[in-house]
Amino acid sequence: MSSLEGKIILITGGLGTLGSSAIRLFLKQGATIAASDRKALQEHPAVEAAVEPYGKERFQYFQADVTDEAQVQELAEEIGRRFGALHGLYHNVYVNVAKPLLELTLEQWEDSMRGSLTSAFLVCKYMLPLMIRSGGGSIVNTSSIIGQVPLNNYLAYGTAKAGMNQFTRLVAKDYASQGIRANVLVPGDFKSDEFLESPPDSFREMMGNITLLGRSARADEINEVASFLLSDASSYVTASLYSADGGFRL
């Protein structure tokens, strides 16, 4: 298990399956967490209950739309005021439009780009100065196997995630001298614990056919990789794409 002791980490998309699991895991590993999502924390009582024992010193929630520049700028300023530092960014926001080119509208294309790629641009742009002032840190942008493997009907989403991959590597190159590491986490299919307790037989069969491990990941399995990339254990890792896909491409 990685140690995040003493790290202040922002998790975007904090109320999604991956983000809410990361909140729980990273708190257990010693991190102080700032989490953001479009929704109110009160809409997710399970997350609210999980963070309550840690108090406001270890967990702060910010309702924000990270596709909106003004809201991201305000989020960065508020994190700076409340914590005074930022050592890690775990970005988990996307918009998935599953349509082929001739069925895709311009609005859907732009929504996918804004949700999956522009959000990464905005969050990195406004969090980087605080991370640099904090002595450096680690960025982990969550991509997808669809950003590397062309699957039917995922033109907009796959293009946005491929763009995120290169965007992250270029951030790593531009800011390495200022103590910034930036990596891409490339998960395969993952599901909530509730789903994985009793998945449909058809789903089990499909995953058996397309992954070496024959199943979907639990969210915490993906987040353990993110934890490693955010921790000092990965101090020589940057500009890399880390896959956690159960052997999907083999």
DSSP string, 3-59: --TT-EEEEESTTSHHHHHHHHHHHHTT-EEEEEESS-GGG-HHHHHHHGGGHHHHE
pLDDT in tens, 194-248: 666 767 777 667 777 888 998 888 999 999 999 999 999 999 999 999 999 999 8
pTM of the model: 0.95
Domain membership flag for residue 3? no
pLDDT in tens, 16-64: 999 999 999 999 999 999 999 999 999 999 999 999 999 999 999 999 9
Residue 111 to residue 73: CA distance in whole angstroms:
20
Q: Kindly give the pairing relationship between strand 8-12 and strand 88-91.
A: parallel
Residues annotated as catalytic (active site), given as ranges:
157
Contact 111, 97 (CB under 8 A): yes
Domain membership flag for residue 1? no
Residue 113 to residue 163: CA distance in whole angstroms:
9
Show the domain range for 235.
8-244
Q: What CATH number should be reported for the domain holding residue 169?
A: 3.40.50.720
The number of folded domains in the chain is 1
Domain membership flag for residue 2? no
Domain membership flag for residue 156? yes
Domain membership flag for residue 141? yes
Question: What one-letter code names the amino acid at 197?
Answer: E
